[in-house]
Chain A
Amino acid sequence: MRYLPKSPTDREAMLKAIGARSIDDLFAPIPAEYRLNRDLKVPRQMAESEIVDWFGQRSKENGIEYTSFLGAGAYMHYRPVIIDALISRGEFLTAYTPYQAEISQGTLQAIFEFQTMICELTGMEVANASMYDGSTAAAEAAMMAVRVTGRNSVVVAKSLHPEYREVLATYAYHQGMPLASAGFTDSGRLDLKELEKAIGPDTACVLMQSPNFFGTVEDVAAVADIAHKRGALLVVSIAEAVSLGIVEPPRQADIVAMEAQSFGVPVGFGGPYCGVIATKEKFVRQMPGRLAGQTTDRNGKRGFVLTLATREQHIRREKATSNICTNQALVALMVNIFMTVYGKIGLRELAKQNLAKAAFAAEQFGKHARVLFAGAPRFNEFVVQTSEDPYVINSRLLGHKIVGGLPLKKFYPELGHAALWCCTEMTTRTAIDTAAGMLAESEAEEPRGEQAVEEVAR
């Protein structure tokens, strides 16, 4: 086996040194009746070339050469090539959690820079070294609010990513953490009246997303006012990190739970991504996840260590702030490099291109179909309502190598024939024109009645 660095002679010599007759001696502790005396039924050993070929085939079966208008928590942005060049360095790729600080300064300093940039972008004072993804970050942030306030329920905006809400429901179920929800108005924004009603004396936090699942930018200040007046915290989830380049960050929030995938992480069929929690300094000891902090060595030289570990499971066991151990360090490094490449000016310009593409597309689509939620600003996503089922439209688009917007029927049946469309800097005008053209065609025709529709987007 080509990954194993021992010759049969080495193995024999080592067994002899140990005093074992054969390798079986070393497996003697396993009761004989359980030992596996056959080959595992897994595919035979393959050559590297065969492996590349096998995955090459799978890659071809996976929608290459399609133009996509999908977003909804997974965004296709350009990834500068230096990201992979740098993260492929073995010193980053094949290192573990930086427990031994003296030989992990590269990872630690990078995390410190990451934490700093996340603070700058979100308007928060501290950020952790990453969480699994945006959905678990949101759930952990809600649990953190419960710890901070000593209250136990959470009011969740219906315009929070539906899968984030599902994850929160799973986490909340066994924690005695009741969930209430607040809907959205015709502008796509959180319904403040419903919110007022939903908040009670036991509400630990309001959990909302901005830009929300429909791409609408929320009035964070207004929501914060309502939450704070009632003694609840405000947790803001951000699924589209690029928005931070041009949309005012939720500075009024107490906790920001974000998904940083947009910053240089491959869409990659849903993961690995990079969740982050950022908050105010006063809440840091209730924050889950690893933190890098600055300190000095014995000669007074600046260095970095993992710190405030007393919050964590390996010290606190069942009293820890979370069970999280492994995080998304390498993905956080991608995010870090992306933020560094675009920086202060580039991120704004990048975000502005997203804004322009989506505004143009919404305008084109709006000529033939109804673009919902016009009353509030949006970033790079918008909801289009059609007379025809979006699955039917998408089925037709797919024939032209275009993946249309995400039909919302599954998550929001009340919106009827609606779909969520996304444009990033990667979306070409040609693709927008083609999609708008086909939308126009289908909307111009009489409804064709029931058709056999292939499942084209979940």
Chain B
Amino acid sequence: MKHPTPKATRHVNQNEGLIFEKSSPGKAAWKLPPLDVPDVDSAKLLGASERKDLGNMPEVSEIEIIRHFTRLSTWNYAIDLGMYPLGSCTMKYNPRVNEVVARLEGIANGHPYQPEKISQGALRIIKTLSDCLIEITGMEAITLQPAAGAHGELTGLLMARAYHESKGNPRKKVLIPDSAHGTNPATAAMVGYAVENLKSNARGMVEVSALEAQMNEDVAALMLTNPNTLGVFEQEIDKIAKILHAKGGLLYMDGANMNALVGKVRPGDFGVDVMHLNLHKTFSTPHGGGGPGSGPVAVKRALEQFLPTPVVITKPDGTLGFEYNRPQSVGRVRSFYGNFGMFVRALAYILANGPDGLRQTTEDAVLNANYIRKGLEGVYDLPYSTPSMHEVVFSDRVQAKKGVKTMDIAKRLIDYGFHPYTTAFPLIVPGALMIEPTESEDKTELDLFVDAMKSIAQEVEEDPQIVLDAPHSTRVSRLDETAAARKPVLRWKPA
């Protein structure tokens, strides 16, 4: 197993080059219709601004493009192939009907500036999704404009800042637990807040006494992920909210882990003032190799006036429209209205589920995580024994004694046919293995995963090298990331 078999690497499918390496003059994959207006002399029209040459852009035929990208696609792992338990990423099934409805003529081809009179379908989609998300979160108003989770964080904190400014003092800092996603502190910095770290307690939760000690009138907000990145529900959430509110601070919830809560509990009910959702996590829009996402921000009434412009309103005649005149708005965070195509998919997901389906989904997600936890407890170190919700975090403490780290175990998992879990996060767990199965896995797949993880643990004991050298089954073996960063090659150049 140490070296891939020669046959596999010689196969043409496994050696697809760069598209530029297939290019040669005269090949084409395009054909334009004849021009129905007089042709123009571009040199005359553009003068010195005329472009004469497009450099090394490729010239290839259609079949070559189909084969090129199809071959490349086969080098990817995907949810469609198997379990993808990346913690905090919520890699659930992406329903195909979502893709179909997003491509309907009026939905795919509507122009953002077309008259409202002929945009009622799009506006109805935005309104219906907004209403559903407000109900799901227990909040009171929403914007769908942010393009991703981190963009939602930015929008939410901008609104928090505007809220404090309207009260005469923007305040100086944002509290962030040490278990938080890196986007939280990066966002706070973008909004001009100093970041103050909040230590977790031995149970992996916010230490309420520490929060009490750190909370004062300089604190604009606490950014809390709930369940947090350990997959633990902040059981003292009522106290946390009270401490913040007593000093005029706001409770911001990072909704990255909302898949643990939908239909079971609503953040608006437990004191959250502003939160973002990730439609590409909880609401099944495809991750597509890293995006697009969509990060709606839901708020309580006290923050509604600060929502980005425009907002969708119902006009006196019952039709829907955009309202731009909102003097206290934080302004616009993106052109047009956000990633509309993702709204369509998220709404299709909600409609396919209904209230019963959404609740069952959450229950299954939590059931799956706990089933894995039970299966691997004792095999891998569980640094926090606090009950898990939708994900479970182990550490490589046992395996590290043999020189095997979480990343090595992750790479070996690839040989067993699974995508690895999230490695080395959250930061409060050294050598973390963060596993989020989602509701989309059946019992058999979970059993296979547990078996694989147990088998790797055994390999670590008996023959750690096999784990250290993994993966063995992939087209390429472990890639040299250090070399890539030291002397970056970020584009192809002709020889």
In the complex, the answer to whether A377 meets B97 with C-beta atoms within 8 Å is no
Instruction: Tally chain A residues at the interface, Cβ within 8 Å.
Output: 206
For B188-207 the 0/1 string (1 means CB < 8 A from A) is: 11111001000000000000
Q: How far is the CB of A172 from chain B (nearest CB, A)?
A: 10
For B67-82 the 0/1 string (1 means CB < 8 A from A) is: 0111111111111110
B167 within 8 A of A: no
Q: In chain A, residues 290-321, which have Cβ atoms closer than 8 Å to a Cβ of chain B?
A: 290-299, 301, 303-305, 307-310, 312-320
A452 within 8 A of B: no
For A220-237 the 0/1 string (1 means CB < 8 A from B) is: 000000000000000000
In the complex, the answer to whether A95 meets B288 with C-beta atoms within 8 Å is yes
- Chain B residue contacts of A97, Cβ below 8 A: 287, 289-290
For chains A and B in complex, what number of residue pairs have CB atoms within 8 angstroms? 708
Q: In chain A, residues 347-367, which have Cβ atoms closer than 8 Å to a Cβ of chain B?
A: 347-350, 352-353, 355-357, 359-361
In the complex, the answer to whether B108 meets A268 with C-beta atoms within 8 Å is yes
A272 within 8 A of B: yes
The residue from B38, B195, B371 contacting A18, defined by CB atoms under 8 A apart: B371
Q: How far is the CB of A12 from chain B (nearest CB, A)?
A: 10
Kindly name the residue among A102, A173, A294, A454 whose own CB sees the greatest number of chain B CB atoms within 10 A: A102
In the complex, the answer to whether B351 meets A51 with C-beta atoms within 8 Å is yes
The residue from A60, A100, A136, A457 contacting B334, defined by CB atoms under 8 A apart: A136
- Chain A residue contacts of B161, Cβ below 8 A: 174
Q: In chain B, residues 348-406, which have Cβ atoms closer than 8 Å to a Cβ of chain A?
A: 348, 350-361, 363-364, 366-368, 370-371, 374-375, 386-387, 389
A257 within 8 A of B: no
In the complex, the answer to whether B107 meets A36 with C-beta atoms within 8 Å is no
A48 within 8 A of B: yes
- The closest CB in chain B to the CB of A28 belongs to B387
- Given A5-B442, A268-B341, A343-B57, do A15 and B367 touch, yes or no (CB 8 Å)? yes
In the complex, the answer to whether B492 meets A403 with C-beta atoms within 8 Å is no
- Given A91-B74, A343-B58, do A51 and B101 touch, yes or no (CB 8 Å)? yes
In the complex, the answer to whether B350 meets A42 with C-beta atoms within 8 Å is yes
Kindly name the residue among B121, B181, B322, B335 whose own CB sees the greatest number of chain A CB atoms within 10 A: B335
- Chain A residue contacts of B75, Cβ below 8 A: 91, 103-106, 109
In the complex, the answer to whether B119 meets A269 with C-beta atoms within 8 Å is yes
Kindly name the residue among B28, B59, B353, B358 whose own CB sees the greatest number of chain A CB atoms within 10 A: B353
Q: How far is the CB of B194 from chain A (nearest CB, A)?
A: 8
In the complex, the answer to whether A455 meets B117 with C-beta atoms within 8 Å is yes
A140 to B484, CA, bound (A): 25
In the complex, the answer to whether A326 meets B148 with C-beta atoms within 8 Å is yes
Kindly name the residue among A319, A340, A343 whose own CB sees the greatest number of chain B CB atoms within 10 A: A340
Question: 4 closest pairs, A vs B, by CB?
Answer: A330-B288, A270-B336, A45-B354, A90-B80
- The closest CB in chain B to the CB of A103 belongs to B77
B115 within 8 A of A: yes
- Chain A residue contacts of B108, Cβ below 8 A: 266-268
Q: How far is the CB of B170 from chain A (nearest CB, A)?
A: 8
In the complex, the answer to whether B109 meets A266 with C-beta atoms within 8 Å is yes
Interface contacts beyond A98-B76, A110-B69, A115-B490: sample of 8 additional A-B pairs, CB < 8 Å, sorted by A: A42-B135, A55-B104, A112-B490, A120-B57, A174-B161, A174-B191, A271-B340, A353-B35
- The closest CB in chain B to the CB of A319 belongs to B189
In the complex, the answer to whether B109 meets A272 with C-beta atoms within 8 Å is no
A344 within 8 A of B: yes
The residue from A299, A313, A322 contacting B477, defined by CB atoms under 8 A apart: A299
Pick from A180-188, A198-206, A246-254 the stretch touching chain B.
Answer: A246-254
B215 within 8 A of A: no
A239 to B355, CA, bound (A): 41
- Given A113-B19, A295-B480, do A244 and B77 touch, yes or no (CB 8 Å)? no
In the complex, the answer to whether A456 meets B56 with C-beta atoms within 8 Å is no
In the complex, the answer to whether A349 meets B115 with C-beta atoms within 8 Å is no
- Chain B residue contacts of A273, Cβ below 8 A: 335
- The closest CB in chain A to the CB of B322 belongs to A458
- Given A39-B356, A103-B419, A129-B290, do A60 and B478 touch, yes or no (CB 8 Å)? no
